[in-house]
Amino acid sequence: MERRVSIITLLCVFFLAHGSLLGAFTADKRDTLRGLTQLGVLLEFLPDDLEREGINRNQLKREIETRLMDAGVHVLTTAEVATLPGAPYIYVSIASLPTTNAYEYVLIFALKQLVHLARDPVTELFVTTWETSAAIRTNGGGHGLDIKSRLSGALERFLIDYRAVNGK
């Protein structure tokens, strides 16, 4: 049973990470970062076990925002994002999966933007235009540090791609 859950986890992460590649016709997901100078940050609520371990959602969000600002990205409030063309925002989700004798998490770090359908420009919706994800499995305590490390790595991957197309 535990092996089946792990396989399902890995498949979910694969499709989350590559789902946009299967349906997208852009040459490179980094292209969607070109000219982006402002965005918001939305961090979903954390699993209770991470909160108990001392991982604070607001502090984690501030750390993400600070690193973005250090890279030259202007971080906006939710209200400000709503007024920006495309309403771009970083979306971060850390979800725990029930297993026995281990902790399993799925980390999603994505840029979401409001886009218009080419065939019907009146229709607009939020889509993921850039993303990375990870499956994290740990035994015992201390998994919060591993998750923070993986989140930091995801943010660094975003910043590398951001700099590659924006020359910063």
In the numeric block, which tokens belong to residue 18?
């590559």
* pLDDT confidence of residue 142: 66
Q: For residue 41, give both structure tokens.
A: 């940050």
Q: Report the percentage of the chain scoring pLDDT > 70.
A: 81
CA separation for the pair 3, 68 (Å, rounded) = 37
Q: What is the mean pLDDT of residues 67-75?
A: 95
Neighbours of 63 (CB within 10 A): 16
Strand partners, 74: 38
Higher pLDDT, 19 or 32: 32
State the total domains in the chain. Answer: 1
Mean pLDDT of all residues in 122-143? 85
Whole-prediction pTM value?
Answer: 0.80
Looking at residue 31, which CATH number applies to its domain? 3.40.50
Highest-pLDDT range among 16-25, 124-133, 141-150: 124-133
Residue closest to 155 by CA, chosen among 64, 33, 47: 64
In our burial notation (b when 16+ CB lie closer than 10 A, e otherwise), range 103-129 reads: bbbbbbbbbbbbeeeeeeeeeeeeebb
Q: Are strands 103-116 and 89-97 parallel, antiparallel or unpaired?
A: antiparallel
User: Which one-letter amino acid corresponds to residue 43?
Assistant: L
What values do phi and psi take at 115, rounded to 5? -125, 160
Q: What's the domain range around 39?
A: 2-166
Checking 143-151 for CB contacts under 8 A at 24+ apart, the result is 143/49, 143/50, 143/53, 143/103, 143/105, 144/50, 144/53, 144/54, 144/55, 147/50, 147/55, 147/94, 147/105, 147/107, 148/55, 148/60, 150/107, 151/60, 151/64, 151/92, 151/94, 151/107, 151/109
